[in-house]
Structure 1
């Protein structure tokens, strides 16, 4: 059970919070940085957990024992603190994860994760009116101490200024949005020409294959397009010179029979995106062959 001990010493933190912090990367796609982090005299609070998510985005986590009443106002307040504490956050990342990671932080859309036993209907509706990226996550503790996290509501957020929003809209996919003709944001972007022309048709089919598995958030990041739920499930990168699309999936590579020219184990090999199974898609036949692997990645997410 998650207890709310805002000013407790680390040794007295709730067991549930400690368990989440020990597994933030596996459960939430967030690298843990600090616990009970003070926000200073103006905001007068302590952020339960501070981290950096798998896409290089600052992430804040708050825990509530019961129904997360008032969680949205607290989330917006802490995101406001983060906006004024960039140098402080960068110094923390540099200390914990190194200079290279600190220099590549993506500040465009910080992430707030609110974990509670439940959320009010008003909070679940109101979160979609906010421009911040906020995940409402419900926890359950089952017999034997098994902890389960379930994403209840999520808003993709937006950039912080009107000018930035306009620039990003011109060149990137806006997560979760839809075009006037009903296409997904990714498909609309391909039609508009942001995707290499030689790959637009193939990418439209891939996008459909990646979004058919229920609620999926699509986000254009600096170097790749992420398809995610609680964590990234797939990352897409374009290789127009080779007329191919690379898809990185989170699958246990030891359970996959690799095929030269189609799939590759990327463990220990640096690459953009997340997920260590690389799948090369250059034709409709490749996409059909990749279908079972995409399904496995979403079933495991």
Structure 2
């Protein structure tokens, strides 16, 4: 039978110990004391796969105050960027600190459950918020389920989509590839209602709770997508799929998919779905 944590601290300790695997977030700090008039402690601070700041708040059961508490900490974060930047520099280095994606800052609320009012409330805010339900199954199994996911106005929108798929710079590299990239974008976003698009200069990430695909700006003769699919689990096809485990590239994912035609996009869709399901 599914059950909740005995105490909230057990839940927090488990997720902090496996934060990158569970949430796609690099752990920075626990019980971080904020220096302001009203004070407070942020349960967990981290940096996600795209370099966006992440605040994680935990509640053992259902608690209507978790969203407002998290938003209070988000407001502090926006007004104290230097403090967070210094924390990232100390934990992850100068390069990570110089590439923080402030426009995609996120709040992840992890709780035993949420009400329909919670799901409605996050849609009224202009922040990127994920409501995540947890459950324990016996002593050896643990699950996370996204209940609601809302993208902040800065992380996604028409402007970002144009940058990802068809701005004037990309048109110089071949209209056909731009149109193919736009088709890829539509397929990835259409995989589910919880897909968030996050734009970086070098790639466009598609995420649920974690990245499941990264679209590279179209090149002269192909469109490249990186997926969170284990290359060993698929039949690699030269010129179409490639194992890039351990190879440096923009974005995240160990399976590279190269698309040159609409037919390539059609046969890539099962790989897209596998990666989406894994995220």
Normalised by the length of structure 1, the TM-score is 0.83
For structure 1, the 5+ residue unaligned runs are 5-13, 160-164, 175-184
Aligned to 1:64: 59
TM-score by length of 2: 0.89
CA displacement at 1:2 relative to structure 2: 6.4
1:104 maps onto 2:82 in alignment = no
Q: Against the structure 1 CA distance between its residues 2 and 115, is the aligned structure 2 distance closer, same or farther, given a 3 Å change threshold?
A: farther
Is the alpha carbon distance of 1:169 and 1:154 closer, same or farther for their aligned partners in structure 2, counting shifts above 3 Å?
Answer: closer
Give the Å deviation of 1:120: 2.5
Aligned to 2:219: 240
- 1:222-272: per-residue Cα shift (whole Å, max 9, x none)? 32122211111111012332x211000001122223222222221221111
In structure 1, C-alpha distance between the alignment counterparts of 2:128 and 2:215, rounded to whole Å: 21
Q: Deviations over 1:155-189 (max 9, x none)?
A: 10123xxxxx9xx9674229xxxxxxxxxx98xx6
**Counterpart of 1:227?**
206
What is the distance in 2 between the residues matched to 1:126 and 1:2?
A: 28
Find out whether 1:86 has 2:61 as its counterpart.
no
Residue 11 of structure 2 aligns to a residue in which SS? Answer: helix
Deviation of 1:49 after TM superposition, in Å, equals 0.6
> Take 2:266 and 2:17, find their aligned partners in 1: how far apart are those partners?
38
For 2:62 and 2:138, the matched residues in 1 are separated by 21
- From the superposition, tell whether residues 152 and 31 of structure 1 become closer, same or farther in structure 2 (CA, over 3 Å): same
Q: Is the 8 A contact 1:264 1:279 kept in 2?
A: yes
Aligned to 1:182: none
Number of residue pairs the alignment of both structures matches: 271
Residue aligning to 2:160: 172
Q: Distance in 2 between matches of 1:102 and 1:73?
A: 27
- 3-state secondary structure, aligned to 2:102: coil
Deviates more, 1:56-65 or 1:288-297: 288-297
* Alpha-carbon distance change, 169 to 299 in structure 1, aligned in 2, over 3 angstroms: closer
Shift of 1:221: 2.8
The verdict on how the C-alpha distance between 1:276 and 1:2 changes in structure 2, with shifts beyond 3 A counting, is farther
Tell which has more relative contact order, 1 or 2 (C-alpha 8 A, sep 6+). 2
Say whether 1:22 aligns with 2:1. no
Distance 2:6 2:12 in 1: 6
**5+ unaligned residues in a row in structure 2: which ranges?**
none
